[in-house]
Amino acid sequence: MSKAPNPARRSESSRRAILAATGDLCSEAGYGRLTIEAIAARAGVSKKTIYRWWPSKGAVVLELLGETATIATAPPDTGDLAADLHTMLTEIVDMLTPPRNSAGTGVISEALHDPDLARDLRERLIQPGIDAFKQRLRRAQETGRLHPDADLDVALDLLYGPIYHRMALHLGMPDPDYLRTLITHVLRALTPPAPH
Amino acid sequence: MSKAPNPARRSESSRRAILAATGDLCSEAGYGRLTIEAIAARAGVSKKTIYRWWPSKGAVVLELLGETATIATAPPDTGDLAADLHTMLTEIVDMLTPPRNSAGTGVISEALHDPDLARDLRERLIQPGIDAFKQRLRRAQETGRLHPDADLDVALDLLYGPIYHRMALHLGMPDPDYLRTLITHVLRALTPPAPH
């Protein structure tokens, strides 16, 4: 994390209290009204303690999101690519769908203006899943199940992008059927025509 | 526009001065530091005048963006679908690429928390292009050039989405080659295999 000092110096119980307070305040009043003051008061720590470990409220919220996101630590891998993509995208959609989206949407909104936060968001929450699925797509490409000229970076953007587009324009977040159709279309874009 | 009173009452010269001041201030100091006070001072009008016509600074900036966006008024239509998609996506990318992206990124960031602004953003700037291209994709589907089961709403999300995904995570905005690859992949997802 940017500007984060040695995490070994953190007290784990204070860290837990800070994250719990952040989650409660986000649910109660929304990301927009969240302040470091309010987190400190609720968690029973000083503002200085919070700023010693995190550079901004966005960074605290991001750590909270990372705690519960399995995509960040263990992207799904059952061997069924389409099903695993569905699991991964569902987790991201859940994080960005009202009424539980205050933290996720707040961090994305702030990251648009804060390159450090955007880098942390990418590295801690999104990139592990992207890397894991890119590796699986590459293996499928090497064994001929995907087009040799399929662009795997574009492929990942095609999978994630619609979620951000629908979120940005309030077009209604994807439901399970939408995600299945999305994945079918993207895999079709990557798959060579059946031999004949 | 939400809460906008009769536009006929607007003075066109004041409107132009307000939009010009907004553009200058956005370029100079960025969307984040833009205030209605500053716009009023620079344009030589009262704050009241601005609030009579627009509900928020986001709405003023959105009108400014709409003034120059051909996608909002005349989506490209040369008959070459891939080329026209490239023209349209290039215009959106330009609006969101540093260093000229302050207004566009600012409005999107604010719209994440402001459903009224998001609706205006959609209706005034993005939806005309989406509607025009959806109609063209539907015609192509009716004449058999696209899969009968291609989902055209998903198709438009696939075209726009990667831009928002790359913007949200600061992954580097698409260049012309990227957009060509993107469009090729999406059209491949929509196109039936060659007959044999």
Contact at CB, B154 and A162, closer than 8 angstroms: yes
pLDDT at A5 over 80: no
Residue B195 lies in a domain: no
CA atoms within 13 A on the CB side of B27: 9
The answer to whether position A83 is within a domain reads: yes
| pLDDT reading at A182 higher than 60 | yes
> How many domains does the structure of chain B reveal?
2
CB contact at 8 A, A1 and A59? yes
**CA dihedral sign, ordered B43, B49, B54, B56:** positive
The whole-number average pLDDT for the span B155-179 is 96
Decide which of A46, A64, A82 is a domain's last residue.
A64
Given a cut of 60, is residue B4 above it in pLDDT? no
CA dihedral A140, A142, A148, A149 (to 10 degrees): 80
B2, part of any domain: no
In A, minimum Cα distance to B127 occurs at A169
Answer yes or no: do B13 and B98 share one domain. Answer: no
Q: Are B134 and B116 in the same domain?
A: yes
For residue B73, what pLDDT is reported?
Answer: 82
pLDDT for the residue numbered B76 = 92
Supply the pLDDT for residue B195.
Answer: 61
Mean pLDDT of all residues in A34-46: 96
| CB–CB contact B185 A190 (8 Å) | yes
A195 lies in some domain:
no
Tell me: do A78 and A45 sit in the same domain: no
Structure tokens at B58: 């986001």
ipTM: 0.88
| Residue A97, min C-alpha distance to chain B (Å) | 12
Q: What is the pLDDT of residue A179?
A: 98
User: For residue A196, is pLDDT > 60?
Assistant: no
If asked whether residues A84 and A45 sit together in one domain, one would say: no
Chain segment B17-60, per-residue pLDDT in tens: 999 999 999 989 889 899 999 999 999 999 999 999 999 999 99
CA dist B170 → B161, B165, B189 (Å): 14, 8, 26
Indicate whether A117 belongs to any domain: yes
- The dihedral built from the CA positions of residue A92, A98, A103 and A106, taken in this order, carries a sign that is positive
- Find which of A153, A158, A179, A187 to mutate to test the B interface (most B CBs within 10 Å of its CB): A158
For residue B89, what is the enclosing H or E element?
A: helix B81-95
Average pLDDT value for residue range B174-188: 97
At A48-101, the pLDDT tens digits run 999 999 999 999 999 999 988 888 888 899 999 999 999 999 999 999 998 889
Within-domain flag for B1: no
Tell me, what CATH number does A33's domain have?
Answer: 1.10.10.60
What separation in angstroms does the CA of A14 have from each of A67, A137, B152? 15, 41, 50
Q: What is the mean pLDDT of chain A?
A: 91
A196 within domain boundaries: no
B25 shares its domain with B55:
yes
Q: Is A93 helix (H, G, I), strand (E, B) or coil?
A: helix
Q: Are residues B23 and B119 in the same domain?
A: no
User: To 10 degrees, the CA torsion angle through B82, B162, A167, A128?
Assistant: 160
The average confidence (pLDDT) of chain B is 91
Same-domain check for residues A77 and A150: yes
Domain end residue (candidates: A64, A81, A106): A64
Question: Searching chain A, which residue's CA lies closest to the CA of residue B122?
Answer: A169
Residue A67 phi, psi dihedral angles, 5° rounding: -60, -35
Residue ending a domain, among A64, A79, A103, is A64
- State whether B76 and B169 are in the same domain: yes
Whether the CA torsion B73, B75, B78, B83 is positive or negative: it is positive
| Residue among A125, A126, A181 at smallest CA distance from A156 | A126
For residue B5, pLDDT beyond 80: no
Q: Which of A162, A163, A193 sits opposite B194 (nearest CB)?
A: A193
Q: How confident is the model at residue B165 (pLDDT cuts 50, 70, 90)?
A: very high
If asked whether residues A84 and A147 sit together in one domain, one would say yes
As a whole number of angstroms, the distance between CA B45 and CA A28 comes to 40
Of A108-122, B64-78, B172-186, the range with the lowest mean pLDDT is B64-78
The burial class, CB within 10 Å (0-12 / 13-18 / 19+), for B12 is exposed
For residue A127, what are the domain limits? 69-190
**Average pLDDT for residues A106-122, to the nearest whole number?**
93
Look up the CATH number of the domain holding residue A142.
1.10.357.10
Q: In this structure, what DSSP letter does residue B31 have?
A: G
Which two structure tokens, joined as six digits, stand for A164? 């951000």
Same domain for B55 and B91, yes or no, is no
Quick one: what percent of chain A has pLDDT higher than 70?
A: 93
Partner-chain contact A170 B118, CB within 8 Å: yes
Instruction: Indicate the residue of A168, A188, A190 with minimum beta-carbon distance to B108.
Output: A168
| A147 & A161 share domain | yes
Percent of chain A with pLDDT over 90: 81
Alpha-carbon gap, residue B188 to B147, rounded angstroms: 10
Residues of A whose CB is below 8 A from B188 = 188-189
pLDDT above 60 for A134: yes
User: According to the model, what pLDDT value does residue B154 have?
Assistant: 97
Q: Please name the member of A109, A122, A158 whose beta carbon is closest to the beta carbon of B169.
A: A122
Residue B192 — pLDDT band, cuts 50, 70, 90? confident
Residue showing tokens 């409005």: B107
**For A2-30, what is the HEC assignment?**
CCCCCHHHCCHHHHHHHHHHHHHHHHHHC
- Which sign does the torsion angle of CA B136, B139, B140, B141 carry? positive
Quick one: pLDDT band at residue B72, thresholds 50, 70, 90? Answer: confident
- What local confidence, expressed as pLDDT, does residue B7 receive? 56
> What pLDDT, on the 0 to 100 scale, is given for residue A156?
97
pLDDT band at A6 (very low <50, low <70, confident <90, very high): low
Q: How confident is the model at residue A192 (pLDDT cuts 50, 70, 90)?
A: confident
Clarify whether residues A121 and A32 are in a common domain.
no
